[in-house]
Structure 1
């Protein structure tokens, strides 16, 4: 079984999510003699209104085409949020591979208009992310925020493979959980992306924590929230972030950070901006592979 769960992904998702539901949350007795975590198969079946045999066949991969009504019933029993429910529907009705490849992977290029807009935000760290949550472009302040981090152009690798990640992120456990959930969301839309498969495989081999979190099958895209940083030059910052879709480039996200006005974090961010302006940060540029596509030799440097 590979890291992207290519064999029976529906069954693996159902088993993982079933194990995370507490019986008492659904009005069932918890009991002291339960031999499985979460719900039993027969409990899921009864609550979803299907036979136990049918549900067992779903988990085992012998039944792969549940109706939309059954999928919705299972999502309700498994306490899935909207995005995870949509993911379950995709697993039950996967898009044929030939259709997924139609018009296929575009070069990870960021348009000049978007680059100029990001560059103009001198007090706001901003980055353009690709389908694998990889950084395609970022402005000077965002590069300064992540300066010195291993895999700074690849947030997932940075969270799990940077030896100082737990120091850089005071709330590392939450960041790790959100990162894996975001990758799961990306995997649902880009299951046949070889670079995404390679990323998940590498992280699964090199990080026990990643393997454990990946097995939960949490699905949640990055939207908005708060993130804390412990920066080596300006100390701790608490930044709000918003993740926006880019209509002109499907699959891209515009990630924008901001500090509360008048807060110590805003002062620290201003100081970081001053330090970046007097250093060798330069103008925003495409990151990693996208930089090389633009002919930018600096693309291999850490962001």
Structure 2
């Protein structure tokens, strides 16, 4: 039945039957009625009783502890993706990265290098700037890249109060600020114990009553694409789309900015692009 495909019991049976006993240090000889591990062998490897494994496979017990799920995943030699699936089947959040990833992944570097005609920026999960191109810095009137790296968007928005001066999001500043805090709240489910993350939230809460109020609302949601009117000091106001991309096996995110083709906003972005190219040639 289709409904049985992803149940905890069906997953355990499927993965148990594919394991070669010799790969986990068990004798592979003798007659076996079924391929793979026996239930009692899986139980021994995971440190639980054979009856417990029987009840899990038969669907009589569907919520083992996270510690038991981890032990079963190790015994079954599951990949990271399979381990995540097993956790979700057992009604647990999968184990995720518990520290802020401060590496610019090769995929992110390729996108930044191969799309120089679009404003691009790479941020950590706490919205610290890891990397950007010159066009992004010019668009948002940021300092030179070497100085901009390490700046935090949450701090710029709620402590330094500069984000609202640079761009007005569609729906107003409050909509953007709530979305930013909700995204940070979502990251806290995995990164809440990271000392850098804790320090950021504690510091901004103490300095911004507005941030504290949004944080205490408890709303958690991923930050999505957003339209902004940028108040640029060179070309004036222009409307841009800010789209967010995430990468597998990393909690960094990439922001890509663009303007609708054939519009005055696109012409203004072209002017900034030409200016950035001239500056690059003279550096």
TM over 0.5: yes
Q: Are the equivalent residues in 1 in contact too, given 2:101–2:250 (CA < 8 A)?
A: no
CA distance in 1, matches of 2:107, 2:157: 30
- 5 Å matches for 1:134-173? 134-148=128-142, 153-170=151-168, 171-173=172-174
Residue in 2 aligned with 1:192? 193
User: Secondary structure of the equivalent of 1:123?
Assistant: coil
CA distance in 1, matches of 2:123, 2:165: 24
CA distance in 1, matches of 2:99, 2:157: 26
User: Secondary structure of the equivalent of 1:279?
Assistant: helix
CA distance in 2, matches of 1:270, 1:107: 33
Deviation at 1:199? 0.7
User: Secondary structure of the equivalent of 1:122?
Assistant: coil
Residue in 2 aligned with 1:252? 252
Gap regions ≥5 residues in structure 2: 1-61, 64-87
Q: Are the equivalent residues in 2 in contact too, given 1:127–1:142 (CA < 8 A)?
A: yes
Higher relative contact order at CA 8 Å, sep ≥6: structure 1 or structure 2?
1
Once superposed, what is the RMSD of the aligned Cα atoms?
Answer: 3.2
Deviation at 1:212? 1.2
CA distance in 1, matches of 2:282, 2:179: 30
Moved more, 218-227 or 274-283: 274-283
Q: Are the equivalent residues in 2 in contact too, given 1:140–1:281 (CA < 8 A)?
A: no
* Structure-2 change in CA distance of 1:191 and 1:138 (3 Å): same
- 5 Å matches for 1:12-51? none
Greater C-alpha Rg: 2
* Structure-2 change in CA distance of 1:154 and 1:282 (3 Å): farther
**TM-score of the superposed pair, with normalisation by structure 2:** 0.58
**TM-score of the superposed pair, with normalisation by structure 1:** 0.54
Q: Deviation per CA, 1:16-40, whole angstroms, max 9, x where unpaired?
A: xxxxxxxxxxxxxxxxxxxxxxxxx
Please state if 1:271 is matched with 2:265. Answer: no
Q: Deviation per CA, 1:90-124, whole angstroms, max 9, x where unpaired?
A: xx9678xxx778xx647622145532431222321
CA distance in 2, matches of 1:244, 1:225: 12
CA distance in 2, matches of 1:131, 1:177: 16
Q: Are the equivalent residues in 2 in contact too, given 1:246–1:253 (CA < 8 A)?
A: yes
CA distance in 1, matches of 2:122, 2:142: 19
Gap regions ≥5 residues in structure 1: 1-66, 69-88, 284-303
CA distance in 1, matches of 2:239, 2:282: 25
* Residues matched between the structures, number: 189
Q: Are the equivalent residues in 2 in contact too, given 1:126–1:138 (CA < 8 A)?
A: yes
Deviation at 1:280? 5.9
Moved more, 272-281 or 174-183: 272-281
Deviation at 1:146? 2.5
- 5 Å matches for 1:67-82? none
* Structure-2 change in CA distance of 1:140 and 1:148 (3 Å): closer
* Structure-2 change in CA distance of 1:224 and 1:281 (3 Å): farther
Q: Are the equivalent residues in 2 in contact too, given 1:181–1:221 (CA < 8 A)?
A: yes
